[in-house]
Structure 1
């Protein structure tokens, strides 16, 4: 589903950041747009920055259930800084999976913004999840009965013949 992303630009509160950017809304079924100005309130501007596809995957239905159980359910918008472009930011992705959003947040280069999901989009994601989710049975791992306390540590690679500990101090070679 095409998803328009609305970004708001407000003046920064420190001298080091001239502008503060945040994702404030998503527009389900939006047409293509590239930094179209939507609203202006004083120095605050809202742009329809981009339209990106929202793709739902059958393998991520558990993540969608977690998102739908949250209050409110959200769309996660991944934004990248573009120092060389005509606009300072690029919307690279929108996802309904909090697990995928966490992966992008961990890399430290992307901004991940949480935007409330509109009611129609909540229903669409819920229908997809209900139709495709398969509950996986939890299987507890069992320890094997191998006795590891009988193995001598510190001997290094067993394929190399040696009689002593590999962690010994090196000997000084006479010169």
Structure 2
């Protein structure tokens, strides 16, 4: 019996749209708008221009699905619009305006990158084919985790608590109060 692969990978091209900014502080507005499943390699290749707005095939990144992350994929698929999460960094290297670092189908991983505040995380709607590909993988590898309720220990809670608070405080009313120096 052959063991199922614990991961699968597909190259995914990312389409990024550049428009003039609406404030004087942001000259350009960058937004990931679409993905190209199975795309070939590209580095900021211009696809279309409409006035000042330009669409680029910014990068082709590997979309890797892991068997251990199926719970995250199931959460993503149950969303109203299943999406991929693109992580971009503003690194000012050469002619590349933004560096595409990662693309993932895990909303948990996307949230982890968004929490740092150093990267730009864009949510891109999945195509129907990608939804089916992720769903098939998730259903094949998903194992529900059994919830085990923790049982309380039998320790009595009505007994006197030793070691609580500062022993230098004579008052029983406020054991968490800091001791004061006596002024003479």
1:144 to 153, 165, 168: 153
Over the aligned positions, Cα root-mean-square deviation in angstroms equals 2.0
1:9 paired to 2:18: yes
2:54 to 35, 45, 62: 45
2:86 to 77, 80, 88: 77
2:164 to 150, 153, 156: 153
Match of 2:5 in 1: none
| Distance of 1:169 and 1:34 partners within structure 2 | 67
* Residue 38 of structure 1: how far off its partner (Å): 0.6
TM-score norm. by structure 2 comes to 0.82
Q: How many residues align?
A: 165
| Distance of 1:32 and 1:59 partners within structure 2 | 28
TM-score norm. by structure 1 comes to 0.86
| Distance of 1:171 and 1:8 partners within structure 2 | 70
- Secondary structure at the aligned position of 1:54 is classed as strand
2:123 to 104, 108, 114: 114
C-alpha change, 1:85 and 1:140, in structure 2 (3 Å) is farther
- Secondary structure at the aligned position of 1:55 is classed as strand
Between 1:10-19 and 1:84-93, the stretch displaced more is 84-93
Once the two structures are superposed, residues 119-147 of structure 1 have per-residue CA deviations (whole angstroms, 9 ceiling, x without a partner) of: 11111101101100001111122222335
Structure 2, unmatched stretches of 5+, are 1-9, 170-177
1:60 paired to 2:69: yes
* Residue 88 of structure 1: how far off its partner (Å): 2.0
| Distance of 2:111 and 2:164 partners within structure 1 | 39
1:98 paired to 2:127: no
Match of 1:159 in 2: none
